[in-house]
Chains A and B, each alone.
Chain A
Amino acid sequence: MTPASHVLLFATLQVLLGLAGLLTRRTGEVALVSGLVMLSGVLMAFCALAPDLEEGPQAAGVVVLLLLAALAVVGMAVLYAFHRYRRAVVVDEHDRMRR
């Protein structure tokens, strides 16, 4: 049986990797995938903490999974709309919403 501390360590590493990608990469698609990697790490953390959760991992994890799917769908839709204006999606250059 895998100890919960191992799963939490793995989840932390995955969240840190995703965070590093989200903060350092300028390409929109890579930033979106980094966010998905972070959410996947959160999902693993939910599984690690399953015995401490009243409802078990599945009910709590479904919420994170729904969030992950919604992020993927909405994020890809936004990126697709950006692609119609410019060929490359560089997130630093998209300040159109502020103006």
Chain B
Amino acid sequence: MPPILFWCLAVLSLLASGLAVTAGRPSRAMAAGVGVLLVDACLVFGLGAPLLALEMLLLGLAAALLLWALVLRPGRLRLGAPGRLRMNISRLLAFGAALYLAVLLSWALGATPGVQPAPARSLGGEFGPWAAGVLLGGAAAAAWVVVLARRRRPDEPGEAP
């Protein structure tokens, strides 16, 4: 990547970082944070790490989608309102996408029988993947417990929240 292009993207990323840090409204801060992630993905791609850039791009797109659906346009999802035309179309599209991905994955698994898994020595030795899985499972379990922590009802004893 030429330095001039790098610094153009870097200035854009720094501006988005400054906006994320100084934004008054949390939704704007999060939108700027997603922008930082996407611009940094372009930078990482230019620096010669396409796989990492693709992962950053996917993470950024997922964050942008969640931000749009849950924060910026919260009325669009309406998950608890079945029977609407948009809900039915979305359900069909989601089923089609899942079917397509399943067919693609099964074809890819069948077409590459000779590929051997990478040795586990690179990250954390032999137990690295297991440790990463346990950590990820622990993080998911912690998030699950925190999200399910319910508010105390008025008729329950104890200090008011």
Contact = CB atoms under 8 A, between A and B. Distances in A.
B147 interface: yes
Interface stretch (B7-15, B78-86, B92-100, B105-113): B7-15
A34 B52 contact: no
Main DSSP-derived SS at the A contact region: helix
Contacts of A6: 3, 6-7, 10
Contacts of A69: 59
Interface of B: 1-3, 6-7, 10, 13-14, 17-18, 20-23, 26, 29-30, 32-33, 36-37, 40, 43-44, 46-49, 51-52, 55-56, 59, 63, 122-123, 132, 135-136, 139-140, 142-144, 146-147, 149-151, 161
Contacts of B149: 81
A64 B49 CA distance: 14
A33 B139 contact: no
Interface of A: 1-3, 6-7, 10, 13-14, 17-18, 20-21, 25, 27-30, 33-34, 36-37, 40, 43-44, 47-48, 50, 55-59, 61-63, 65-66, 68-70, 72-74, 77-78, 80-81, 84-85, 89
Main DSSP-derived SS at the B contact region: helix
Nearest to B71: A29
Contacts of B122: 55, 59
B9 to A, nearest CB: 9
A61 B147 contact: no
Given A37-B21, A61-B52, A66-B136, A7 B47 contact: yes
Contacts of A81: 146-147, 149
B146 A70 contact: no
Contact of B147 (A34, A70, A80): A80
B55 A65 contact: yes
A74 B21 contact: no
Nearest to B51: A58
B47 A47 contact: yes
22 contacts: A2-B47, A7-B6, A10-B10, A17-B21, A21-B20, A30-B20, A30-B21, A33-B20, A33-B30, A33-B32, A34-B21, A37-B33, A47-B52, A50-B49, A57-B44, A57-B52, A63-B123, A65-B52, A70-B135, A73-B140, A74-B142, A74-B143
